[in-house]
Chains A and B, each alone.
Chain A
């Protein structure tokens, strides 16, 4: 004896539902006379029943959607400490490129952290110390020593990470909070507090 899934219950949805049985129409029964009670079908109740079945399926569907978004990941933690400001000499520092995909830039007056992602299509540019610029291997965008684009298709300078001093005076970087400078959009957050540290 075969069986129907919720799915089928679904398609059956708008078909005359079981409770239609309450109203076998003479047409349906052919010439056979039949004494059947409660001739009119309680439509609202029928709809309500089906609504609940659909509702159940709907909610389940949503639950399954939620199911695909686990509460914790084991991806590298975007928040990390890069030690004391004094650890960085003038110029750019490659130490955290491999582990965190960032360059730490120390300038006479400030430190900031460039997120090493080309603003064109998201490749990781390389630092060409000879030409004193970042060059993107994918489509040749070039950025100057501050990560500001000057050649190639890149639309805007590379983004900068949020950074702040923790209680012990170490620099904490959060590469999930990025500061954007987009001349076209006319926004520049590079000078927001948190986009750089004064030293």
Chain B
């Protein structure tokens, strides 16, 4: 607007201001309008693009990018077997399990804000959550039911994987990881059971850990335990509970296992699990059926150890 100013010179000060104001008004209104227009398609804003580093016209490339360039999505391949999207095959249980795990983390973290893992307060904190904390009851319920649901989901996931034989070469190891994850899931739920410090949890855990008394060699009631000098104060159960009975230490241990240790381990295994899914050739199927007639007979010497995979 340089030459604008030029003109201004000749005009009176007042007029000058007027024009400036005019100009400003015009400027703002026009620019504003067009930029508001721009907002109609947020995908085009710089902000948006700074987050998602690719355009959004629906080209194959972008569809691929939207998966690959997204830290959360990219453990998916850009493309999947067309039938792998069929629910009747996948049941989606693995995904649901993972989703539930995340839900549990959210709700769990929130619950931790009001929970003290101490004999005096644990139970009262639950009352507090139920009666005094807004949405506390809802959160607690969600946390509990999500935990139950997760276990069911895990089992069904395993069930599905077995029925589709998806543990077979080359996925043997990932199946093992899966089994471990299932165990961890159940342990997570079990450790959480004690935390409200009510009769239900207390006795469930008492019954549960009493089995550990009978660990062969390591439990003070297990085979050869006593012979190895196991007592209620040095056996494996003691290690679990931090005491000979379910008490303050047990509560604290359960808390730490439940909130930190197991989730940590589980997430590591999960990472491994997902990574392997990709590396072992993505989701297992549905694969084209094989025919009995196509089985090749074994060649070469039969090692007595299990055969390394790939030999066929």
Contact = CB atoms under 8 A, between A and B. Distances in A.
Contacts of B135: 63-64, 66-67
B239 to A, nearest CB: 35
A7 B58 contact: no
A3 B98 contact: yes
Interface in B124-170: 128, 131-136, 139
Given A1-B94, A67-B133, A11 B99 contact: no
B58 A28 contact: yes
Contact of A15 (B52, B94, B139): B52
B76 interface: yes
A148 interface: no
A111 B230 CA distance: 72
A48 interface: no
Given A1-B90, A1-B94, A8 B60 contact: no
Interface residues of A, number: 29
B51 A70 contact: no
Contacts of A1: 84, 90, 92, 94-95, 277, 283
B274 interface: yes
A29 B61 CA distance: 11
Among A15, A20, A63, A64, the most chain B Cβ lie within 10 Å of the Cβ of: A15
Nearest to B91: A1
A66 B132 CA distance: 12
Interface stretch (B5-13, B18-26, B66-74): B66-74
Contacts of B98: 2-3
Interface of A: 1-5, 7-8, 11-12, 14-16, 20, 23-25, 27-30, 63-64, 66-72
6 contacts: A1-B94, A2-B98, A4-B72, A8-B72, A20-B58, A29-B60
Given A3-B94, A15-B43, A25-B57, 13 more contacts: A1-B92, A2-B274, A3-B96, A3-B98, A4-B99, A5-B102, A8-B70, A11-B51, A16-B58, A20-B58, A24-B58, A66-B135, A71-B134
